Every structure is written in C-alpha cells, then in structure tokens.
Amino acid sequence: MPGPRHDRSDTLDKEERKNKSKTSVIRRTASDVIVVCLVCLVALSGFRIYTALKSYRADRSVYESVSEQASASGDSIDFEALSSINPDVIGWLRYEGTAIDYPVVQGQDNEKYLGVLFDGTKGDSGTLFADCVTEDPFRQFNTIIYGHHMKDGSMFAGLKKLKDPDWAAGHPVIELFTPDGNYHLQVWAFLNQPSDSNIYTTNIKSEDSQRQYIELIEKLASYTTDVSVASGDSLAVLSTCAYEYQNARYIVVCKIVPWE
C-alpha cells in the first residue's frame, strides 16, 4: 500500500511562515530595544540638563551673595569684606552688556580656582583668577586673567561678544576695581588662539620684549581698536575657552588706565 504523499509546497509554506514569524519577533524586539535606548537617552539628557541648571543656580547664588557683601553696585568695592571671605582677592571686574561682575583672585597655582568658587566651595563656574606667576598684578606689563566660558552666559562667557568689532566699539571699557585704586580696561585687541600661544607669556620686563609682545598681538589679532599701546603700558589679557577647535581660546587684550 502506498505511503502518504507529502506536498512540498505545504512544507515550504510552513517554513516561510515560521521564518516570517521569527523575523517579526526579531523586528519587534529590535524596535523595543531601540525605544528603550531612546527613552534612556532622553532620561539621561534630561538628568544632565537638570544637574547643569542646578549647578548654575547654586553658583549664581554664591556670587550674588558675594556681590551683596562687597556692596558691588556702585563705583567702589568693599575689599575688606571680600578679604574676610577669601584673602586671595586682588580685584573685581565689571563689564556692561555681559554677566561679568565678579571678584578676581590669585592663587598658588592655576588649577585650584578652575573648580572652586570665591567662597571656597566647589563649583563648575570656578573663579576668575590671575596667572599664579604674575609678580605685580595690574601694574606690571601684562596681567593674564582666566575665567570659564559657562554655557549659561556667566563668568567669562561674555568675552565671546567681542568677536564682533562693532559690538566692541559700543562697549569699549571694562571696569577694574582693586584695593589700591580703580581702572578702566580699554579694549584693544581680540584674538582666537590655542592655549599654548605665546600670548600667555607673562612677567615681560625688557622694553624690547614688550615691544615684540605688542607686535605679536597685532599680528595674531582678529582686529585691534584705535587704543594706543606701547612698551611701558600695563595690559590686561582676559582669556576663556572658545569651543571652536580643540584647546581654542578667546583672548581680549586691554590697556589698563586709571580712572579720571
């Protein structure tokens, strides 16, 4: 008696349906995994944004308190009060049209104040600080001041506005208060340089070396203003991260002149 006949097409259909079912399961699983990953990424991004905003608020609160204690609303600063908070204080910078309205310190190294606020607490905003090797801040030929470029516009982020020479023309003076007197920083040059630029040379004493430094700035600057600068002058070199390429820095060079 002949055995049962197997329809090859039925077998192929079953295999095809089985394969399609497997493919469908794989696709659903992959889709679920992608959705879970996206949800995790959104949650992580949200957490990071929340953490950053919380940090900005905390740092801003500290500096608002410092400003109140220093009575930093007029043409004078209470440096005695500031010194009681932080004896490293050497000045105060204020720049109309930006958020720059902060104390300036000088520490034993150039690392501490990258992550420490003026009151000594830890904070991503750090503190504006003069290069630690500066021998006579604001009175020697050039004084380099560093500050973070914070994404909320605080600290030295406002220096980016000086990329535009027209904006600089409308905001030509930065105010500097020190325990020994008040000064105007007359904006002279804007540069975009790497962090290892020779612009960061300090304690330049000979007249010839000072002249070469001025010539270097004129050569590298995106623009210079009509401020007259010569050897023997005092310059403030303000530096912050530029984020335009690796280790890029915005540098604003100003002539320091006493208030009249």
**pLDDT 10s digits, 182-240:** 999 999 999 999 999 999 999 999 999 999 999 999 999 999 999 999 999 999 999 99
HEC assignment per residue over the chain = CCCCCCCHHHHHHHHHHHHHHHHHHHHHHHHHHHHHHHHHHHHHHHHHHHHHHHHHHHHHHHHHHHHHHCCCCCCCCCHHHHHHHCCCEEEEEECCCCCCEEEEECCCCCCHHHCECCCCCECCCCCEEECCCCCCCCCCCEEEEECCECCCCCEHHHHHHHHCHHHHHHCCEEEEEECCEEEEEEEEEEEEEECCCHHHCCCCCCHHHHHHHHHHHHHHCCEECCCCCCCCCCEEEEEEECCCCCCEEEEEEEEEEECC
Quote the CA–CA distance of 97 and 99 in Å, as a whole number: 7
Higher pLDDT: 169 or 72? It is 169
Q: Which residue has the tokens 């197997």?
A: 6
pLDDT value for 16: 59
pLDDT value for 78: 96
Mean pLDDT of 159-184: 98
Average pLDDT of the chain? 88
Percent of the chain with pLDDT over 90: 75
Let me know: does 257 contact 251? Beta carbons within 8 Å. no
Do the domain assignments include residue 238? yes
pLDDT value for 54: 55
Do the domain assignments include residue 99? yes
- CATH of residue 158: 2.40.260.10
Do the domain assignments include residue 20? no
pLDDT value for 260: 76
Closest CA to 94 of 170, 174, 153, 159: 174
Q: How many domains does the chain have?
A: 1
34 pLDDT more than 90: no
Which pLDDT band, with edges at 50, 70 and 90, does 72 fall under?
confident
Let me know: does 94 contact 100? Beta carbons within 8 Å. yes
Q: Which residue has the tokens 């040379």?
A: 201
Which pLDDT band, with edges at 50, 70 and 90, does 75 fall under?
confident
Q: Record the tokens describing residue 195, joined without a space.
A: 């962090």
Q: In terms of residue numbers, what domain contains 226?
A: 72-258
Do the domain assignments include residue 106? yes
**pLDDT (tens digit, 9 = 90+) per residue, 131-159?**
999 999 999 999 999 999 999 999 999 99
pLDDT value for 56: 78
Higher pLDDT: 22 or 254? It is 254
